[in-house]
Amino acid sequence: MIEQQRGWRRGLLLPLVLLMLGGCQSLAPPKTEAASERLQQSLALIGSAQAAESERRRAQADYRRTLGSALPALKAGEPVPQLEWAPADPPDWRDPRQLAEIEPVRRPPRPDSGLQRPGLGAPAVGRIVPGGANAPRRGYHVPITALALPAPVEVADDGQLQVALADPVRVTSVELGPAEPFVPVSESPRFSLPLAMDLEAPLDATRSLGPGPLAGLRYLLRADRFTGQSRITFLQPFDPDKRPLILVHGLMTTPQMWNRLVRALMADPKVREHYQFWFFYYPTAQPVPLAAMQLREELDQAVAVHGPIKPMVLVGYSMGGVLSRAQITGLDTAAAEQILPGVSQLPADSPVRQALIFEPRDDISRAIFMFTPHRGSRLATFNLALWVSRLIRLPSWVRNELEAVADRLAGLDAEQIPTSIQGLSPDSPFLALLDQAEVKVPTHSVIGNRGRPGELSRSSDGVVPYWSAHLPSAESELIVPTGHGGFAHPLAVQELIRILHENLDVVSGE
């Protein structure tokens, strides 16, 4: 009986193994030797007027798989019969020689995300290294869509296909004509198709949004261990045709907090066409005026390296909103003296002086404040907050600078340096004077309300009360039914998109 069971199992196992091997073979990528022929067959079906719609969809899927499987070999310089790189024509097309890596997107498309578009081509992720002063540490991860189309007759014999890498944000359609196959649709094409797009895969691959939330806590308590300097990082390579959208995170967070919001904003075609995303990354323990000064300096540096640039839009969350407000307002000598007597007597290049005496920027067109404590938060005065602030270790340059000027300033004690937590108290003179200063550009407020009964003026998002977040001068104010962490709430996202569209309409109407 036992032998019969073993024999039965062996008899069942062999067909299962064969079935699994057969399934693996069916899923295996086509060999590069046959890639050109398969691509030609797919193109013939895609362009056939007699083919059914289901046949065209299958042909597009096969085209994507086949070309995606051939891309690594092409990038590695391996010969692939009847396939060669086409001449690149930036900025709409990527030069493969400028990409350190090309990784095809293996997962099936998910068009409902707004970050993907079905169509012709093989979406992939290209990596650019080095990327420059404002590039992520591992370089840029950019979306590309590979196309293999017949080469012009004057370039190659029949059967030769040229592979080009399109920027799917700039190129939305492709012409399937015999003369110029790598030209975006513009004038009465004979036959055209949407170009496939996947923007989600580059966002998954990139590290430009910074480390996770644990790093935010670590750099709050141990700002002295913050790697490098505070910096501005670009999500994509600088584009002079797009407006910088600068996202400034809040206390105990990193730019990674913007992940969901960035994806939602990029899903809007108008936003991704006209804006480029910049992130300010800084240790959040520092005194608020010094962090605001660093943001100002990093913006200056980015403009110096990449300028001229289009007017910028600031989006500041929580304490990041305070840093953003310090970019569109100014504090004069009299105001600075109220905060720290004697500060105006310091040298012009003193960081302490520059942090308290500054002019508003003239290259910012609009600012959006999200859950921002313009007048502070009572939580900063609680015993727990004060206890945490005593655990904070500030960067050595901050301590060294303040120790160097402590003897000259009567109101500064190098042994009791105010941290960011204390700087967010309603008793902060910096916040009070900043709140009194004139705002030079249009502003908007997104304010949270946890929904407790009572008047709006007494509401709160759990951290920032309405009376602190409200700006009488704001052009618009949206109350979102959420707590302090609701910056990616659908209503908040919808409001940001509306404001960004409005910013473009105002500029185009000037």
Provide the pLDDT for residue 495. 98
pLDDT at residue 388 above 60?
Answer: no
Is 447 part of any domain? yes
Residue 369: name the closest of 471, 508, 285 by CA.
471
Provide the pLDDT for residue 215. 54
**The CA-based dihedral angle spanning residues 174, 178, 179, 181, taken in that order and rounded to the nearest 10 degrees:** 20
Is 456 part of any domain? yes
Provide the pLDDT for residue 418. 58
279 and 371 part of one domain: yes
Is 11 part of any domain? no
Express each pLDDT in 219-277 by its tens digit.
444 445 555 578 899 999 999 999 999 999 988 788 888 999 999 999 999 999 999 99
CB 317 within 8 A of CB 250: yes
Express each pLDDT in 352-382 by its tens digit.
889 899 999 999 999 999 999 999 887 644 4
Is 254 part of any domain? yes
Torsional sign, CA 217, 487, 425, 396: positive
Amino acid making up residue 150: P
Higher confidence at residue 164 or residue 342? 164
Mean pLDDT of the chain: 81
333 and 408 part of one domain: yes
156 and 226 part of one domain: no
223 and 111 part of one domain: no
Provide the pLDDT for residue 16. 34
Could you tell me the two tokens for 377? 């938060």
Q: Are strands 197-198 and 116-117 parallel, antiparallel or unpaired?
A: antiparallel
Higher confidence at residue 349 or residue 446? 446
Beta-bridge mates of residue 315: 247, 368
Domain C-terminal end among 167, 202, 237:
202
227 and 194 part of one domain: no
Q: What is the CATH number of the domain that holds 318?
A: 3.40.50.1820
DSSP 340: S
342 and 432 part of one domain: yes
Is 10 part of any domain? no
Provide the pLDDT for residue 340. 82
Higher confidence at residue 420 or residue 324? 324
Residue 108 φ then ψ, to 5°: -70, 155
Query: What ranges in 178-258 are assigned the alpha helix state H?
Result: 200-205, 213-221
295 and 268 part of one domain: yes
The whole-model pTM stands at: 0.83
Could you tell me the two tokens for 93? 């097309």
Residue 2 φ then ψ, to 5°: -65, -40
Calpha distance 463→466 (Å, rounded): 10
Calpha distance 105→64 (Å, rounded): 10
Is 219 part of any domain? yes
- Domain total for the chain? 2
158 and 225 part of one domain: no
235 and 373 part of one domain: yes
359 and 474 part of one domain: yes
Calpha distance 23→4 (Å, rounded): 29
Domain that holds residue 96: 31-183+190-202
64 and 149 part of one domain: yes
Concatenated DSSP letters of 128-183: ESS--TTS-TT-EEEEEEEEEEEPPTTTS-TT-EEEEEE-TTT--EEE--SS-TTS
Is 466 part of any domain? yes
